[in-house]
Amino acid sequence: MGFTALFIMSAVMGVSSFAVGSLPLTFTFSHHRLKMLTTYGMGLLIGAALAVIIPEGIETLYSSIGANGDSFSPTPFSDPGRVIAISLVLGFSVMLFVEQLSAPPPPPKTISGPSTFDMATSPGGSMANAAQSHTKAFSATLALVIHSFADGIALGSSSIGDNSGLELVVFLAIMVHKAPASLGLCTTLLSYNEPRVRIRQYIFAFSAAAPIGALVTYGVVWTLGNAAANLQWWAGVALLFSGGTFLYVATVIQDVSGHSHGPTIEDDEPAEELGVSTRLGLLVVGMFTPLVLSMLVGHGH
């Protein structure tokens, strides 16, 4: 659909993400419903990666090679299978390093006494504990901002070429995924007793990361792809890279087994976990949704 459609989608994504993320500053959300939306969004990411983004990246890569014949070799890696593997593993590995390096430091071991959160938010809490709470909030935000930028890479790479169906499916998958992530970020920051002005700044950074990632990816791919075949090749690599990031976010950071490694929400009330059947149903429906959407909207080539 081109740059204009990408710009409109990016603007809608950024504004809606900020608006949804700011809602917990005014309203209180049910943990159970937020968990259901998060699980469905997790299934969407897996389905978008396995059924849409990765197959499209492979097809785009091979189409670019066929456009220039066997002599086409835009990188030192002439074997397309090797390029596919490297792109997927690289995307997965980048998110692995991001999560590990941005994870907040573990709390100091104590035999008894109030938690770090209680000490940081109580009138007599020390400055050191307050600083540690702020560090955790910043680390959680940084990790999600980089994840959001990776979402933008997927949207930007899907906008290269004439496949409007792919771009629409990726856009919908990211939108549904970003809603619970944005809500969860705001709730987490509130639990760390961050000032509301700072919370809005963090949510703005998270909301802007995906649009920036999409526009930057579009510009970089267009710059590198000075020929039609080169453009297709780099678009395929970008799609495969983003597919690897999607898989990591959906299966590791938001573990399909139900034990999330992402930012936890500290709540006064005990969390109501989803039943096994409900969780599996939401995951399966989410995984098949991108596939069904891609069939309905058409291939677009």
pTM for the full predicted model: 0.69
Distance CA 29, CA 46 (A): 25
CA within 13 Å, CB half, 119: 16
What pLDDT, on the 0 to 100 scale, is given for residue 14?
Answer: 92
Buried b (16+ CB within 10 A) or exposed e, 167-196: bbbbbbbbbbbbbbbbbbbbbbbbbbebee
What pLDDT, on the 0 to 100 scale, is given for residue 229?
Answer: 56
What pLDDT, on the 0 to 100 scale, is given for residue 186?
Answer: 85
**Ramachandran sector of residue 109 (left: φ over 0; alpha: ψ -120 to 50; beta: rest):** beta
Distance CA 13, CA 229 (A): 30
Is the sign of the CA dihedral 110, 113, 118, 122 positive or negative? negative
What pLDDT, on the 0 to 100 scale, is given for residue 298?
Answer: 56
The full DSSP string for the chain is -HHHHHHHHHHHHHHHHHHHHHGGGT----HHHHHHHHHHHHHHHHHIIIIIIHHHHHHHHHHHHHHH-TT--SSS---HHHHHHHHHHHHHHHHHHHHHHHSPPPPPP-SSS--HHHHHHSTT--HHHHHHHHHHHHHHHHHHHHHHHHHHHHHHHHTSSS-HHHHHHHHHHHHHHHHHHHHHHHHHHHHTT--HHHHHHHHHHHHHHHHHHHHHHHHHHHHH--SHHHHHHHHHHHHHHHHHHHHHIIIIIT-TTS---SPPPP-SSPP-PPPHHHHHHHHHHHHHHHHHHHHHH----
What pLDDT, on the 0 to 100 scale, is given for residue 267?
Answer: 45
- Tell me the three-class secondary structure of 244-290, residue by residue: HHHHHHHHHHCCCCCCCCCCCCCCCCCCCCCCHHHHHHHHHHHHHHH
Mean pLDDT, 10 residues at a time, the chain of 301 residues: 83 91 79 77 81 85 67 57 90 83 54 41 54 74 82 83 73 80 80 85 93 90 67 82 82 58 46 77 87 70 44
| 243 and 53 Cβ atoms separated by less than 8 Å | yes
